[in-house]
Amino acid sequence: MTTHPIQTDCCYRGGRCPTCVTLRAYEVYTEVYGAQEAIITGNCRGGFGVGELIAFLYARSFPKSEWSKRVDEALRGLRLGAAAEKPDSKE
């Protein structure tokens, strides 16, 4: 199985993810931020972070016209690691 590198913790290289997953996330990334192939090859900060994968794959389930809004929505509420143990702030 072919894989791409991913970050498993803040700026930590060491994880791997199947390309069938990273390429779908990259499709959304490209639509929202523009092309930067180094993000999936690992030559840019070690690849996608886990939270980014979650946000981009979540957004992909919506129409393309909503991807940017849905990425923002997912990232705004995402808590990983120690941050996940803190209670949600009231917005």
In tens, the pLDDT along 28-81 reads 999 999 999 888 887 877 889 888 999 999 999 999 999 999 999 999 878 776
The reply to whether 85 falls in a domain is: no
> Pairing state of beta strands 48-49 and 3-9?
parallel
The reply to whether 84 falls in a domain is: no
The reply to whether 7 falls in a domain is: yes
Residue 85 binned pLDDT confidence (cut-offs 50, 70, 90): low
Q: What is the DSSP letter of 89?
A: P
The answer to whether 61 touches 18, Cβ cutoff 8 Å, is no
Counted domains in the chain = 1
The answer to whether 20 touches 51, Cβ cutoff 8 Å, is no
Q: Which domain holds residue 18?
A: 3-78
C-alpha 73: how far from chain center? 13
